[in-house]
Amino acid sequence: MKPFFAFQWHITDACDQRCKHCYIFSEGQHAIDSMSWEDMMVTLAQIEDFCHIYGRRPYIYLTGGDPILHPDFWRLLDLFNQKSIPFTIMGNPFHLTPEVCAALKERGCQKYQMSIDGLEKTHDWFRKPGSFRETLQKIDMINNAGIRSVIMTTVSGVNIKEIPGIIDAVAQADVNVYAFSRYCPTSEEKADPSNANYMTPEAYRDLLSVCDAKFKAYEKAGCQTYFNKKDHLWTLYDYETGAFSIPEQARPDVIYGGCHCGDSHLTILPNGDIYACRRVQNSRVGSVYSDRMADVWVSQMDNYRHFDRFQKCAKCELKAWCRGCPAVASGARGDFYDADPQCWKIVEDD
């Protein structure tokens, strides 16, 4: 079986939330973009061409905005179904009903991902009143339709203390998968300790320690939630605690894991822009309307594969498995290859 290649495809910016930290609106943007049906067909042809050239199978993370608001949402899903393209929807809870969930399942939807960004008061402040309860209430509906429910949190200095409570809430709601990633500072904020979003490396490590204990306790109690250690700094944490060790056969010139940028994913925006990663600011590498995506992968995308240019990671024994999150480094310090601001490891010559 050919390996999967992940495309995060934003078909519209339309959304009935206006989250305070949403990257769509964070950098002084903009009018709502949305792809026409013809543009979607161009994009899908590019995806299929890319996968044909590189011997991969497409996996689509369909998102927006809220993708369900796009007028051709169901038509596109019918096409995925016809072509047996597996997909996950990253959206909001507001338009989900048992009928909508059944229709998603019928078309092959594997996972439905939503966000929880704090306990009720904080989450509803970030998003909109009622959003926290509605998100958790929709979990059963998604599970009952046979779709895997996924909750993601964006952690920052604003909500870091609420993450343990969120873990309790998602476990209680029978969420299938829970994970968190870190907030990427905007170009104005950078890594400014006076900003409310800022987190020290020590505070973040403490959070991982608390979460690790909670994950283990829930797993032991037979909780059905899978706690996905998505942030690559988990590798550092697990390395220190002995849960991860460097394989004896590992070769020094091979990248085994860590950040997928330049390895196994691309993002496409509603205006056709191709991004190395949606979370990395200014990572536009081309356009599905004017560039062949398969060519972009071996030209512009090479700028994201200079592993020896990582200022700190290049000297770290975990380079092949971690590299933190360069999107956070790039937001905080303006350089994809700069040190991850929450990495607490002391690396020689750092």
Other C-beta atoms closer than 10 Å to the C-beta of 253 total: 6
Strand partners, 89: 62, 112
For residue 127, state whether it binds ligand SF4 (rule: CB under 6 A): no
CA 191 to chain CA mean position, Å: 21
For residue 205, state whether it binds ligand SF4 (rule: CB under 6 A): no
Nearest distance, CB of residue 155 and ligand SF4, angstroms: 13
For residue 326, state whether it binds ligand SF4 (rule: CB under 6 A): yes
For residue 171, state whether it binds ligand SF4 (rule: CB under 6 A): no
d(CA 139, CA 141): 5
Contact 267/278 with Cβ under 8 angstroms?
A: yes
Pairing between strand 284-287 and 273-275? Answer: antiparallel
Nearest distance, CB of residue 34 and ligand SF4, angstroms: 24
User: Near ligand SF4 by CB under 6 A, which window of 45-53, 145-153, 212-220, 314-322?
Assistant: 314-322
For residue 199, state whether it binds ligand SF4 (rule: CB under 6 A): no
For residue 323, state whether it binds ligand SF4 (rule: CB under 6 A): yes
Nearest distance, CB of residue 289 and ligand SF4, angstroms: 23
Distance set, CA 202 to CA 205, 206, 223, 237, 345 (Å): 5, 6, 29, 12, 10
User: Near ligand SF4 by CB under 6 A, which window of 1-9, 186-194, 201-209, 339-347?
Assistant: 339-347
Which of 96/325 has CB closer to ligand SF4? 325
* φ, ψ of residue 134 in degrees (nearest 5): -60, -40
For residue 191, state whether it binds ligand SF4 (rule: CB under 6 A): no
Distance set, CA 222 to CA 170, 178, 215, 217, 328 (Å): 14, 15, 11, 9, 34
Nearest distance, CB of residue 160 and ligand SF4, angstroms: 18
Nearest distance, CB of residue 323 and ligand SF4, angstroms: 5
Contact 182/154 with Cβ under 8 angstroms?
A: yes
User: Near ligand SF4 by CB under 6 A, which window of 151-159, 245-253, 293-301, 311-319?
Assistant: 311-319
Q: Which of residues 214-273 bind ligand SF4 (CB under 6 A)?
A: 232, 236, 259-261
For residue 21, state whether it binds ligand SF4 (rule: CB under 6 A): no
d(CA 123, CA 349): 40
Q: Scanning the structure block, which residue is given the tokens 């939807």?
A: 109
The residue from 158, 160, 327, 332 that contacts ligand SF4 (CB under 6 A) is: 327
Contact 95/68 with Cβ under 8 angstroms?
A: yes
d(CA 65, CA 176): 23
User: Near ligand SF4 by CB under 6 A, which window of 32-40, 75-83, 241-249, 312-320?
Assistant: 312-320
d(CA 125, CA 119): 10
The residue from 11, 47, 280, 296 that contacts ligand SF4 (CB under 6 A) is: 280
The residue from 11, 35, 51, 277 that contacts ligand SF4 (CB under 6 A) is: 277
For residue 123, state whether it binds ligand SF4 (rule: CB under 6 A): no
Residue 324 CB partners (closer than 8 Å, separation 6+): 232, 233, 259, 313, 339, 340, 342, 343
For residue 340, state whether it binds ligand SF4 (rule: CB under 6 A): yes
For residue 347, state whether it binds ligand SF4 (rule: CB under 6 A): yes
Tell me: cis bond preceding 65? Omega within 30 of 0 counts. yes
> Which amino acid would we find at residue 327?
A
Residues lying near ligand SF4 in the complex (CB under 6 A) are found at 232, 236, 259-261, 277, 279-280, 312-313, 316, 318-319, 322-327, 340, 343, 345, 347
